[in-house]
């Protein structure tokens, strides 16, 4: 029996899973790695630790779960989070840690570029909003603040390219990851000259561009031996987590959008045309040359509730974050809609869409003497979902959307899914599979292998599990609180800048 192995390099963990050729999940395993925040705006990860963790999880899955069931691996496909950047020297050795999407160190470079006509030109060419998340801004920051490291760097690459290079020796990048760097022209599928000039680099300092179906890669012999894989195993370059999650959600060119909430989050639609936004609030990333994923990301998804659980969960017994989060959800379910008038701005990582302000910060508003811990729990969840709603409203200025699908960690929590339905006032469906990124990578692999004639046909195999209908009364309450949420963001924008500056100056 043959199977397809998917390697997902996420922000906090690597997940490796295997599907049979009918799309049934055989087994999966996950391994975590830390993120370092030496300063409030910095987020870095050790690329060697990420690679070793990936290799350990992959090997264990194959040896313990796949080979004993008599499966033969025919294809390995990669997915990864977007916007990471790693500088390597002439020998391919990392010059420090990888910088993640959550890093805001380049906010001055981003602000200056965004004010200029060049910023608008680059946004139109690349589809990537001007923000510190992008490789474009990270490289520009390195050029200005770490000139020696910038001079020593011979290649700038995302973490996915580094992992593939370690396994195969090839320095390659797929269109979907490249179109999220702010350096690729999504109209002519080349590195953009204006963006490269701004960053101060040449095309030779970036990986080679390839479509997501590119598979002209061969696993190094030492890894063929260690992993007990045949040299004929197809190595598929794959796509980004966002594009794969959209494909795996089955929202193919209809009036449906998908919400993903993992550590970060996003609201996405798929189409065959780039949606131009004069306000530069949305992205356009390529799944393929003909399929555009348009949407908006939040930097403050599940990672914020995870933060709350770690800080305020009940850990009197053995530490168990999952159990603590379940207890918090149960407590929040006993609070009325709107958390008794307590509103949470969830911007602990700054924020991307739709405000694109790296200086924004978290805030509880409306606290009164009757508020208890349970109100703060529910307000935290509602704040995360209000932010998702604000992104959805931005997308609805360009596309009529009738219903939603949800995937990621919040999809498994009925309490959260019902709140989404009530806030959006739309039906929300969960998927019949838990991992839409892995499912999307399987559909991509199966299409490349000829099992499906096209991605569109492949997406038709995605099925929904349960649909949550909106409660009109709850929506009316949420609509009133959302007006306050939206108004607060505008009114404290100046204070966001002040407090961010103070945190930078006085934080250890």
Going from the N-terminus, what domains does the chain have, and what CATH number goes with each?
2-232 (3.30.420.40), 250-507 (3.30.420.40)
- Which residue from 6, 183, 208 is spatially nearest to 85, judged by alpha carbons? 183
- 102 forms bridges with which residues in the sheet? none
Residue tagged 């199977």 (tokens): 3
- Which residue from 355, 342, 389 is spatially nearest to 492, judged by alpha carbons? 355
Half-sphere exposure of 416 (CA within 13 A, CB side): 29
* Structure tokens given for 147: 């000139």
Helix and strand element counts for the chain (H, E): 18, 22
Quick count: other Cβ atoms within 10 Å of Cβ 114? 18
Q: Residue 95 gets which letter from DSSP?
A: S
State yes or no: cis peptide before 370, omega within 30 of 0.
Answer: no
Distance in angstroms (rounded) separating the CA atoms of residues 409 and 434: 9
Alpha helices in 364-413 (DSSP H): 373-395
Among positive and negative, which fits the CA dihedral 420, 424, 425, 431? negative
- Which residue from 36, 28, 38, 41 is spatially nearest to 11, judged by alpha carbons? 36
Distance in angstroms (rounded) separating the CA atoms of residues 381 and 304: 9
* Structure tokens given for 28: 């999966």
Confirm if 82 and 180 have CB atoms less than 8 A apart: yes
Confirm if 412 and 376 have CB atoms less than 8 A apart: no
Burial bucket for residue 304 (CB in 10 Å: 0-12, 13-18, 19+) = buried
In whole angstroms, how far apart are CA 165 and each of 40, 208, 210, 217, 235? 31, 12, 14, 10, 12
* Structure tokens given for 43: 């987020």
Confirm if 51 and 166 have CB atoms less than 8 A apart: yes
* Structure tokens given for 8: 């997902």
Confirm if 282 and 276 have CB atoms less than 8 A apart: no
Q: Residue 68 gets which letter from DSSP?
A: G
Give the pLDDT of residue 320: 67
Cα Rg, the chain, nearest whole Å = 22
Distance in angstroms (rounded) separating the CA atoms of residues 128 and 124: 8
- Which residue from 303, 289, 498, 326 is spatially nearest to 414, judged by alpha carbons? 326
Give the pLDDT of residue 248: 95
Half-sphere exposure of 209 (CA within 13 A, CB side): 20
| Region for residue 418 given its phi and psi (left: phi exceeds 0; alpha: psi -120 to 50; beta: otherwise) | alpha
Give the pLDDT of residue 306: 87
Residue tagged 């997915």 (tokens): 79
Distance in angstroms (rounded) separating the CA atoms of residues 364 and 380: 9
| Region for residue 70 given its phi and psi (left: phi exceeds 0; alpha: psi -120 to 50; beta: otherwise) | left
Distance in angstroms (rounded) separating the CA atoms of residues 307 and 285: 29
Helix (H) or strand (E) holding 65: none
Give the pLDDT of residue 321: 67
Confirm if 38 and 44 have CB atoms less than 8 A apart: yes
The pTM assigned to this predicted structure is 0.92
Give the pLDDT of residue 322: 72
**If the chain, 508 residues long, is cut into consecutive pieces of 10 residues, what is the mean pLDDT of each piece?**
96 94 96 90 95 98 97 98 97 97 94 96 97 97 97 98 98 98 98 98 98 98 97 97 94 88 91 92 96 95 89 69 82 96 96 94 97 96 97 95 91 93 97 91 98 96 95 98 97 94 84
- Which residue from 179, 185, 214, 176 is spatially nearest to 79, judged by alpha carbons? 176
């Amino acid at each position: 029996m043959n199977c397809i192995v998917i390697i997902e390099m996420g922000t906090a963990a690597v997940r490796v899973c295997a599907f049979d050729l009918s799309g049934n999940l055989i087994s999966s395993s996950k391994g975590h790695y830390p993120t370092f925040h030496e300063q409030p705006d910095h987020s870095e990860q050790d690329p060697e630790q990420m690679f070793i963790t990936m290799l350990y999880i992959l090997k264990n899955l194959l040896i313990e779960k796949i080979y004993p069931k008599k499966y033969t691996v025919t294809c390995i496909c990669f997915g990864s989070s977007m916007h990471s950047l790693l500088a390597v020297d002439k020998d391919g050795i990392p010059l420090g840690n990888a910088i993640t999407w959550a890093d805001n160190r380049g906010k001055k470079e981003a602000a200056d570029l965004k004010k200029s006509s060049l910023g608008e030109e680059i946004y139109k060419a690349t589809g990537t909003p001007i923000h510190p998340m992008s490789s474009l801004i990270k490289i520009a920051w390195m050029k200005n603040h770490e000139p020696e490291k910038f001079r020593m760097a011979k290649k700038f690459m995302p973490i996915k390219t580094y992992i593939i290079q370690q396994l195969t020796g090839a320095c390659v990048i797929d269109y979907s990851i490249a179109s999220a760097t702010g350096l690729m022209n999504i109209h002519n599928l080349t590195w953009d000259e204006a963006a490269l000039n701004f960053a101060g680099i040449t095309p030779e300092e970036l990986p080679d561009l390839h479509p997501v179906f590119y598979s002209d890669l061969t696993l190094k012999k030492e890894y063929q031996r260690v992993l007990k894989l045949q040299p004929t195993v197809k190595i598929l370059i794959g796509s980004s987590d966002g594009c794969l999650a959209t494909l795996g959600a089955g929202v193919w060119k209809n009036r449906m959008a998908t919400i993903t909430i993992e550590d970060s989050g996003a609201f996405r639609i798929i189409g065959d045309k780039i949606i131009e936004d004069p306000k530069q609030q949305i992205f356009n990333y390529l799944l393929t040359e003909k399929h555009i994923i348009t949407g908006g990301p939040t930097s403050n998804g599940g990672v914020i509730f995870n933060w709350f659980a770690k800080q305020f969960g009940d850990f009197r017994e053995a530490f168990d974050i999952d159990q603590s989060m379940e207890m918090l959800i149960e407590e929040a379910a006993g609070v009325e809609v709107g958390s008794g008038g307590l509103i949470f701005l969830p911007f602990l990582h700054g924020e991307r869409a739709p405000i694109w302000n790296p200086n924004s910060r978290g805030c509880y508003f409306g606290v009164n003497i009757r508020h208890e811990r349970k109100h703060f729990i529910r307000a935290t969840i509602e704040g995360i979902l209000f932010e998702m709603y604000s992104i959805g409203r931005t997308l609805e200025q360009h596309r009529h959307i009738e219903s939603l699908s949800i995937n990621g960690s919040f999809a498994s929590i009925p309490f959260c899914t019902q709140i989404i339905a009530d806030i959006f006032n739309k039906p929300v469906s969960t998927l019949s599979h838990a991992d839409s990124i892995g499912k999307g990578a399987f559909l991509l692999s199966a299409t490349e292998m000829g099992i499906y004639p096209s991605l569109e046909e492949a997406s038709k195999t995605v099925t929904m599990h349960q649909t949550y209908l909106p409660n009109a009364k709850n929506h009316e309450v949420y609509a009133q609180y959302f007006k306050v949420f939206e108004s607060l963001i505008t009114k404290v924008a100046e204070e966001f800048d002040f407090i961010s500056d103070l945190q930078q100056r006085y934080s250890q």
